[in-house]
Amino acid sequence: MTNTKNILLISPFFFPEPISTGKFNTNFVTALTAQGHKVTVLCFHPFYPDWKAKKSNEQLKGVEIIRGGTNVYYTKKTIFRRLILEFSFAFFVLRKLRVHQKGKDIVMPIFPPSFAFYFISPFLNKNIRKVGMVHDLQEVYSEGKSGFLNKFVKFFIHKIEKKCYQSCDKILFLSNEMKKEAKKLYNLEENKLEVQYPFITLKNKITNDLSTIFDSTKINIVYSGALGEKQNPMKLLSFFSEASKKIQNTAFHFFSEGETIKRLKSINKNKNIHFHNLVKKENLEELYNRSDIQIIPQKENTSKGSLPSKLPNLLASGCKVMVITDADSEIENLFFEKDIDLVVNKWDNNLLIEKLQFLIHKEIDTEHQKTLAKKIFTIDKMILKVFR
C-alpha cells in the first residue's frame, strides 16, 4: 500500500502474552503489518497470570519484537506489583529508546502502564507523531480507596496520566465514557481525542477440545478472562453461589488464572461452581459456543474506566450476554439503543438472579447480534482513526 508508516508500539503486553491486552495489541499489530506498515514493539516477556517472567523467543512475521523483563520479580500485593511493573518497564523502554526510535514516523504507547511514556517523553524525537491508545483509566479505579498509600498512588496516577495524555498528538479511547472522563480529569483538547470500540478477533473456527468440561444437560453460566478488582470477584462468586441454589439445572464456571481466582477457589464450598484455567485463544469460539450465558461484571462506579475488550467477541459469537454495569453506562445505552440483552445495574443477588432467569428463557435474535457486532467493532476503523 502507499503511505506506509514505520511505527514503534510500547506496551509490556504482547505476543504470546495471554492477557486480553496482550491479545489485543498482537491483533492490532498484525493488522497494521497486513496493511504494509512496519512495526517495532517494545514489550516484556510474558508474565501473566503468575506474574513470573516466562522467556519467549517467539516471533511474528513482519514485526520486530524487543523483549525485556526477565529479571523482574513481582510481589503478591497488587499495589506494589503494579508499581514494580510501571518502574521496571519504564527503565527498559528508556534503555531501548535511542536505537529503536530512529526512522520511526509514529510512537504508540498503550496505556496503562503510563510511567514509561512519561519517562521517555523528553527524549523522543520531536518529529515523531505520538498517538496514545487508552485501554483503562487507572484513576477511575483508584477512586474511593482509603489509606495514605492508596491516596499517594491516586495522586501519582493523576499526575502521570495527565502528563502522558497531554503530551500525545492524538489519543484513541475504547469508549466515549472513557474519553469524556479523561477530558474532564486532565483538561484535554477535544480536537485530538478519538473513540473507537475494541474489535472482533474471532476466526470462525470452532474446535472440539472442551467437551469434557461442560455438561450439555446443564445450563452453563460462564465468566471467562482475567479476574481482578474491577470485575468485583467476591460479589461475582456470591451471585454464582446464590443463583446455583435458586435456579435448577445450572452449572457455573470460572475460566481464569492468578491470585484472585486462587482465593475464590479456596473459599468456595459450592459443588455447582467450577474453576478452570484460561482457555487457549484457538478455543475461545468453542468456549463461547458451549456457554449458555457469559457474564461481564464491572465493579460499581467503574464503567467510565474501561470497556471490556471481550464484549465484541461475545456478541459476534451469538452467545447470550449478561452485563453487570453502572446505570446509564455506555454499555447499557448501547444495548438499549441496539436492542441487545441484557444489562443489570445493581449488585443485588435477588435482582441478578431474577434477570439471569429471564435471560435463560428468552429467545434472542443471534443474527441481529452478530450483524451489529461486525458493524460496530471493526479493526479497520481503529487503524483509520490512528492515522487520521
Q: 219 vs 154, which has greater pLDDT?
A: 219
DSSP 93-116: HHHHHHHHTTT-SEEEEEESS-HH
Please give the residue range of the domain that contains residue 320.
219-374
**Domains of the chain: total:** 2
201 in any annotated domain: no
User: Residue 77: what pLDDT?
Assistant: 82
- Provide the 3-class DSSP secondary structure of residue 193: strand
As a whole-number percent, the residues of the chain with pLDDT over 70 amount to 99
SS3 content of the chain, % helix, strand, coil (to 5): 45, 15, 40
Residues 20 and 89 in one domain: yes
* Least confident range of 1-5, 204-208, 288-292, 354-358: 1-5
Residues 253 and 299 in one domain: yes
Residues 180 and 234 in one domain: no
1 in any annotated domain: no
Residues 235 and 366 in one domain: yes
User: Residue 1: what pLDDT?
Assistant: 43
pLDDT per position as a tens digit, 238-288 = 999 999 999 999 999 999 988 899 999 999 999 999 999 999 888 999 999
pLDDT per position as a tens digit, 54-109 = 999 999 999 999 999 999 999 888 778 888 999 999 999 999 999 999 999 999 99
91 in any annotated domain: yes
Which element (helix H / strand E) includes 338?
Answer: none
Residues 42 and 177 in one domain: yes
157 in any annotated domain: yes
Residues 173 and 241 in one domain: no
Tell me the CATH number at 49: 3.40.50.2000
146 in any annotated domain: yes
* Least confident range of 49-53, 89-93, 176-180, 261-265: 49-53
pTM: predicted TM-score of the whole model, two decimal places: 0.90
